[in-house]
Structure 1
Amino acid sequence: MTEQNRPNVQALIWTGDSLKVLDQRQLPDVSVYDEYRDAEGVAEAIATMRVRGAPAIGIAAAYGVVLSCLRHFDENPADWRARVEADSERLAKSRPTAVNLFWALAQMKAVLDQPSDNPLPALRARAEKIHADDIADNRRMGELGADLLQGAAGVLTHCNTGALATGGYGTALGVIRSAYRRNPLAVYAGETRPWLQGARLTIWELSQDGIPATLIADSAAAWLMKSGAVNWVVVGADRIAANGDTANKIGTYALAVLARQHGVKVMVAAPTSTLDPGIESGNDIEIEQRNPNELLPACYTENSLITAWNPVFDVTPAALISAIVTERGVILNPSEHGVRSLLQ
């Protein structure tokens, strides 16, 4: 990756024999990188949300496979392949919803399946290409999305979809970056409970770029839309079904319903690696459920009468989405066209 294309904010730094992961749970107060030299550590970083965002998860997993091969190829010449496959399975189980994870692992498996006396150079090259391509795709996506935002006075985004969630630049936040550079517009970010990715990460990223932004409570979105301050809701995606139904951070569906009520358009920005034509509709997308303790006050113990329902994602029907923006092009009214044509 050239210095010119290197993003200002880096969630992942590849050193050649280790992966440095920015611990996003501690942002914006503390900026700390954890360094991993094996696939097990990378899988834990994904599962514990040190790294999050569908594209970034896929990139981290690709590097995890490289680290696995680095560890096992020389140590276990007789069965290194079985050990790498076991590590790939561990990585695949780290988060169930984001399809980019499985896409990246499939890319790495394709390299491993090629006959070679030493697979390491090819694995390194593929992981680095996945990373570099993601940044280039984000920038292309940003320009295509910005075309749709021409004339918009304001946008509302949800969760974090910037450089922290990708290889660099961002998907939905990349669209906002590109649009703002053409013509400044009002940017609003929902806090995004329960992990507060909007309050902790998106606002911080925008401040690093010198883009003014306004944080709102998630529950203020309807009133903001009624005020006429925003023309678009711009979000990312963790998986998009063949019919255009989109899984994204919990709360996205509610925003899309509110947007329809108030005449606000909804844009989903995601790379084509997020498209899953093997899933017909959002009904077939597995939704990750996280520990209730992430929501509950500490006084409620395991044996308490009180528990919590903690889905990480929800599914927005394609009928509520105005446009899906990818690096390959734009799908307007995806409920009418689906996504398969973009992949052909």
Structure 2
Amino acid sequence: MNEIFTLKWRKNTLVLLDQTKIPREVAYVECKTVQDIYDAIQTMIVRGAPAIGVSAAYGMVIAANTYDGKSFSDKEKFMDYLRECAEYLKSSRPTAVNLMWAVDRIMDKVEEMQIASIEEIKAEMEKDAIAIHKEDENTNRTIGLNLLSLLKDGDTVLTHCNAGSLAASAYGTALAVFYMAQEKGMNIKAYADETRPRLQGANLTSFELAEHGVDVTLICDNMAAVVMSQGKIDAVIVGCDRVAANGDTANKIGTYSVSLLADHFQIPVYIAAPTTTIDMDCPDGSAIPIEERGADEVLCVNGGYIAPKEVKTYNPAFDVTPAEYITAIVTEKGIVYPPFKENLEKIMRK
């Protein structure tokens, strides 16, 4: 999979792997406008909290470089335009805090440069977006090494959704452990939940891990209890889209169910979380906004209806795993154990 990349920045164009087409086709989309970036995030051409954050940062650079005000020298109009674009991009998906963090980081830089020229602001925005991109890669590698310290050679890990290199700049978060294991000569196997309704585990995780030569077994979501009861799972490792201050964690719908099963079978649950995903302003899981998506994601599989078109659906994209079912939150700054509120505060001060 060396020839496949999730995102690349090329001369004011963000090139994104179209993840809606994996594994049937490897295709790329060029984003040259703010609207292109918004649509790519909203339609999940790009998905995964880290990748969304990096994409939004580049989206702000595109906004600056494509500003079409009548008077380009009018600084205040330029600044107002950037503020509008920032809020628009942040509205594309409400749950993943990396999106808000990355846009706000770019805008903080902009607001600090009130006396600079527009060209200087644009240059600094691009420099910071590239830095966010590189930092994400380094962060994910470190998270993978920290996760690996919790496992032993021969372990098998159950994961849900896709939190791998397809969801980030490189390595991913939850799946980084498999790539670090390969580097260290350890044999860590994977079980991947299919992850209904969008099947990211089937379409993306099984594809990605198989391409990297990882021993991966795909299962339907409703098989997790069976494989746990049979002693086939040594740990559960998942990514996340937001961690509240008390340790409650939002991740792809179905994660809560997996955590309950793991608790029953006394299997540790590890959350792979860049510190950019930790929201200390969010007191607990009840304050995390949960995105609801369209009915066709539930009603259709591969373009065909599997239920009557007129039937009602409920399609939350995420659920919240209570902190009590989480063994540890693994960040690039270290491993956080309960009590999460106290220890998350400590790690965020590092």
Which TM-score applies when normalising by structure 2? 0.92
Which AA in structure 1 matches 2:321? T
Whether contact under 8 Å (1:242, 1:338) holds in the other structure is no
Change (3 A) 1:261 1:64: same
Contact 1:319 1:334 in 2 (8 A): no
The reply on whether 1:110 has 2:116 as its aligned counterpart is no
- Give a deviation string over 1:52-93, Cα, whole Å, max 9, x none: 000110100000000000011776412222222221111011
Are 1:9 and 1:168, in contact at CA under 8 Å, matched by a contact in 2? Answer: no
SS of 1:148's partner is coil
CA deviations on 1:200-227 (whole Å, 9 max, x unpaired) are 1111111221112110111000000011
- Aligned equivalents of 1:100 and 1:128: distance in 2? 15
Distance in 2 (alpha carbons) for counterparts of 1:339 and 1:309: 33
Q: Distance in 1 between matches of 2:126 and 2:86?
A: 15
1:40-51 alignment runs, 5 A limit: 40-51=35-46
In the comparison of the two structures, how many residue pairs are matched? 336
Any unmatched runs of 5+ in structure 1? 1-5
Is 2:344 the counterpart of 1:339?
A: yes
Q: CA deviation at 1:337?
A: 3.9
Identity of paired residues, percent?
40
1:80 aligned to 2:78? yes
Cα deviation for residue 176 of structure 1 reads: 2.6
Deviation at 1:324, TM superposition (A): 0.6
1:55/1:134 contact within 8 Å kept? yes
Instruction: Show the counterpart of 2:146.
Output: 144
Query: In terms of mean alpha carbon deviation, does 207-216 or 230-239 score higher?
Result: 207-216
Unaligned runs of 5+ in 2: none
Whether 1:257 aligns to 2:281 is no
Match of residue 292 from structure 2:
289
Partner of residue 247 from structure 1, selected from 221, 225, 250: 250
Per the TM alignment, residue 339 of structure 1 is displaced from its structure 2 partner at its CA by 1.3
User: Aligned partners of 2:189 and 2:169: how far apart in 1?
Assistant: 25
Aligned counterparts of 1:224 and 1:129: Cα–Cα separation in 2: 41
CA distance in structure 1 between the aligned counterparts of 2:196 and 2:91, rounded to whole angstroms = 24
Equivalent position amino acid for 1:56 in 2: A
**Distance (whole Å) between structure 2 residues aligned to residue 314 and residue 176 of structure 1:** 25
Aligned 8 A contact 1:331 1:337 in 2: no
For residues 293-337 of structure 1, what are the alpha-carbon distances to aligned partners after superposition, in whole Å with 9 as ceiling and x for unaligned? 211254744xx3x21000000000111111111111110235474
Distance 1:140 1:300 in 2: 47
Q: Give the deviation of 1:11 after TM superposition.
A: 1.1
CA distance in 2, matches of 1:184, 1:207: 14
Answering whether residue 332 of structure 2 is matched by residue 327 of structure 1, we say yes
The match for 2:31 among 28, 31, 36 is: 36
- C-alpha contact 1:235 1:269 (8 A) present in aligned 2: yes
Quote the Cα distance in structure 2 between the aligned partners of 1:335 and 1:136.
Answer: 24
For the Cα contact (< 8 Å) 2:34–2:62, is it kept in 1?
yes
Equivalent residue, structure 2, for 1:13:
8
The corresponding residue for 1:3 is: none
SS at match of 1:339: helix
CA RMSD of aligned residues (A): 1.7
Partner SS for 1:240: strand
Say if 2:178 and 2:214, in contact at 8 Å, map to a contact too: no
CA contact (8 A) 2:189 2:214 kept: no
Q: Secondary structure at the match of 2:20?
A: coil
Quote the residue 2:215 is aligned against: 212
Equivalent residue number for residue 49 of structure 2: 54
